[in-house]
Amino acid sequence: MKLVVVSAGLSVPSSTRLLADRLAAEVDRKAAVDIQIVELRELAVEIAHHLTNGFPGRKLADALDAVTGADGLIVVTPVFSASYSGLFKSFFDVLEKDALAGKPVLVAATGGSARHSLVLEHAMRPLFAYLRAVVVPTAVYAASEDWGAEGLAARVERAAGELAVLMSGLSAQRPPVPKPLAGGFEVVPFEQRLNALRG
């Protein structure tokens, strides 16, 4: 199974990436996964150009393909101005609209204090519900103080376990992908489209 981790941390090293890595390692312990990391920081300029031009640059295209083809996702953002960061949102704005449908997603966020922890429930979860992803029940928030306190490890383990179970279950039940036509497209035969209008 393919697990893709999307991290929107901006500093190097970043606590957002640190949380992402903790979550990914825990999933890796519970299920057989190939892990690919997508660092949005490295794609920031290409994401902005995609918004203005309508097509992705090469690195961004690879990242979008990876996310679309994943069996499960871990997505982690720093909290900016009471929500996910603009860079994080912009990445999911340029993803094809059905790319996450039915896909298990673990949402997580980092912040300077615990006061922002409901960003996960009030911003992250609705975003991924809109994208028709299957969001795991446990969302993980790490404030600065959590890195020196008890509790984070248990939440990481519970969330990772939920993602691993969902990924295994859903990827086993995924229907076979129909063979696409030339150019990689699936097409409704024209007669069918014409007849639907006549009906």
Partner 1 sequence: MQFGIFSVGDVTPDPTTGRTPTERERIKAMVAIALKAEEVGLDVFATGEHHNPPFVPSSPTTMLGYIAARTEKLVLSTSTTLITTNDPVKIAEDFAMLQHLADGRVDLMMGRGNTGPVYPWFGQDIREGINLAVENYALLRRLWREDVVTWEGKFRTPLQGFTSTPRPLDDVPPFVWHGSIRSPEIAEQAAYYGDGFFHNNIFWPADHTRRMVELYRSRYAHYGHGTAEQAIVGLGGHVFMRKNSQDAVREFRPYFNDAPVYGHGPSLEDFTDQTPLTVGSPQQVVEKTLAFREYAGDYQRQLFLIDHAGLPLKTVLEQLDMLGEDVVPVLRAEFAKGRAAEVPDAPTHASLLAAAQGVSKEETAV
In angstroms, the CA 61 to CA 5 distance is: 16
In angstroms, the CA 38 to CA 75 distance is: 9
CB of 45 to partner 1, least distance (A): 9
Binding letters toward partner 1, positions 48-87, x by CB under 8 A = -x--xxxx-x------------------------------
Given the structure tokens 């409901």, which residue do they identify? 118
Measure the CA angle with vertex 175, ends 183 and 73; round to 5°: 85
Residues in the chain: 199
Please enumerate in sequence order all residues whose Cβ is within 8 A of that of 101, keeping only pairs 6 or more positions apart, or say none.
131, 132, 133
According to the binding rule CB under 8 A, does residue 186 interact with partner 1?
yes
According to the binding rule CB under 8 A, does residue 12 interact with partner 1?
no
According to the binding rule CB under 8 A, does residue 193 interact with partner 1?
yes
Q: Of 32, 150, 177, 185, which one interacts with partner 1 (CB under 8 A)? A: 185
Q: Which is nearer to partner 1, 172 or 196 (CB)?
A: 196
The residues that touch partner 1, with contacts defined as CB under 8 A, are: 49, 52-55, 57, 181-191, 193-194, 197-198
